[in-house]
């Protein structure tokens, strides 16, 4: 069973469902749709296998009819042939993953027709032991609840129908003592009640296990996010970079790569202290992240350096984003006490762009460009060696 990531809205519903543990066998609508989507295929396979076994067992009981109902054996064979055809049709429907009501309803119709067939053969026979076929209803209700595990409303309908069929049959049969009629009716009723309790418990347990699985999935997703996030800035860390690079290696298309470095950061740290330095890194990360927009993937590259990946960007677009980030840091006017009066924090950028499968080489190119920007005076952007802007005019 494949589980997709859990959106925040569904996570809230999950918390509510886990705490409440309602006796109702239904989740809130959004969670119910997810449950059905993720379990539908497995549910159809479950029903198909058990229904196929039931069809085979139903046909084999013709041997019992030969002993118990020899006077209607031909009719029994014909009816069982019809019911088998219905079972095959339901199996074909289950292969198409139908909606829940159609799926459960089709199987329930097969079970009800099989139960009604038993009652009909019992009523049409004059064999001396025909009333013993009424015990077949016990098999039907237990099979429905514990083997098929039909959803509770359908199991309830089948149990009620089987009890009604038994009462009708035992009432119509001639020569059945009232004590026997009462005894067998009590057995069928008690079996139906026990079957319903079993069905309710099994379905509730199945749903609780599903909720617990979702909770474990959410916890795993949270741990995964933590393992990919830099604890200081909340941006991607080196592990996240490695994952992105592995994905980009086969993605195709162009990509822009920026490497940013906070200018004179060691002097800032020495002058203001490490706590202020951490706050400076957080603020710069927020500024360049906001300037990059939704399409920029921002990672902390190490220390005061940041890596920005721009999928789909060419040289010109990447340089434009870098310039927007540079201006955002400069205009934030973060005071830099280690510089002359009025000095503010700035950042330098190395820029490269090219095919996504060359991202690792582009990072090296952007890194080399960053060092040129540093040597060239800082608070500037520098294109990589393969950038059109870096090539000498002919």
Catalytic residues: 304
| Residue 176: partners with Cβ closer than 8 Å, 6 or more residues away | 131, 170
Tell me how far CA of residue 259 lies from CA of 173, 350, 375, in angstroms: 90, 5, 15
H-type alpha helices, the chain: 8-20, 29-60, 62-68, 73-94, 100-124, 136-142, 152-172, 178-228, 238-248, 265-272, 274-292, 315-331, 359-375
- Name the 3-class secondary structure at 107: helix
- Name the 3-class secondary structure at 261: strand
Tell me phi and psi for residue 5, to 5 degrees: -55, 150
Closest CA to 182 of 170, 197, 164, 168: 170
- Name the 3-class secondary structure at 47: helix
Compute how many other C-beta atoms are within 10 angstroms of the C-beta atom of residue 157.
16
Task: Provide the 8-state DSSP code for 389.
Answer: G
Residue 167: HSE in the Cβ half-sphere, 13 Å Cα cutoff: 8
Strands 305-311 and 381-383: unpaired
Cα–Cα distance, 176 to 198 (Å, whole number): 31
Residue 353 near residue 387, CB atoms below 8 Å: yes
Q: Sheet holding 254-262: strands in order across?
A: 297-302, 305-311, 254-262, 347-355, 381-383
Residue 125 near residue 72, CB atoms below 8 Å: yes
**DSSP states of 86-103 as a string?**
HHHHHHHHHTT---HHHH
């Amino acid at each position: 069973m494949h589980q997709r990531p859990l959106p925040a809205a569904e996570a809230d519903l999950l918390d509510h469902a886990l705490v409440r543990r309602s006796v109702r066998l239904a989740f809130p609508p959004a969670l119910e749709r997810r449950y059905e989507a993720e379990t539908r295929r497995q549910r159809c396979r479950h029903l198909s296998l058990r229904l196929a076994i039931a069809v085979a067992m139903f046909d084999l009981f013709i041997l019992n009819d030969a002993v118990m109902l020899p006077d209607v054996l031909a009719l029994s064979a014909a009816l069982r042939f019809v019911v088998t055809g219905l079972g095959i049709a339901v199996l074909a429907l289950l292969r198409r993953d139908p909606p829940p009501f159609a799926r459960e309803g089709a199987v329930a119709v097969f079970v009800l027709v099989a139960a009604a067939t038993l009652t009909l053969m019992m009523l049409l026979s004059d064999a001396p032991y025909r009333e013993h076929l009424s015990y077949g209803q016990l098999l039907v209700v237990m099979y429905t609840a514990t083997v098929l595990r039909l959803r509770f409303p359908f199991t309830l309908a089948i149990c009620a129908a089987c009890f009604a069929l038994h009462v009708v049959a035992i009432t119509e049969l001639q020569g059945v003592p009232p004590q026997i009629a009462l005894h067998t009716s009590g057995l069928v009723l008690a079996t139906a009640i026990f079957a319903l309790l079993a069905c309710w418990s099994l379905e509730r347990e199945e749903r609780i296990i599903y909720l617990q699985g979702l909770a474990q999935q959410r916890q795993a997703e949270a741990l995964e996010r933590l393992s990919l996030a830099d604890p200081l800035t909340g941006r991607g860390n080196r592990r996240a970079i490695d994952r992105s690079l592995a994905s980009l290696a086969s993605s195709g298309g162009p990509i822009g790569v920026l490497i940013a470095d906070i200018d004179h950061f060691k002097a800032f740290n020495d002058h203001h202290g490490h706590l202020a330095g951490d706050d400076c890194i957080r603020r710069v990360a927020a500024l360049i992240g906001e300037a990059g927009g939704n399409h920029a993937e921002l990672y902390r590259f190490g220390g005061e350096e940041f890596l920005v990946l721009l999928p789909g960007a060419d040289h010109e677009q990447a340089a434009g984003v870098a310039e927007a980030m540079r201006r955002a840091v400069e205009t934030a006017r973060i005071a830099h006490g280690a510089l002359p009066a009025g000095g503010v924090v700035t950042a330098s950028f190395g820029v490269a762009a090219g095919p996504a499968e060359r991202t690792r080489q582009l990072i090296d190119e952007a890194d080399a460009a960053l060092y040129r920007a540093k040597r060239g005076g800082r608070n500037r952007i520098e294109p990589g060696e393969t950038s059109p802007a870096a090539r000498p005019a002919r």
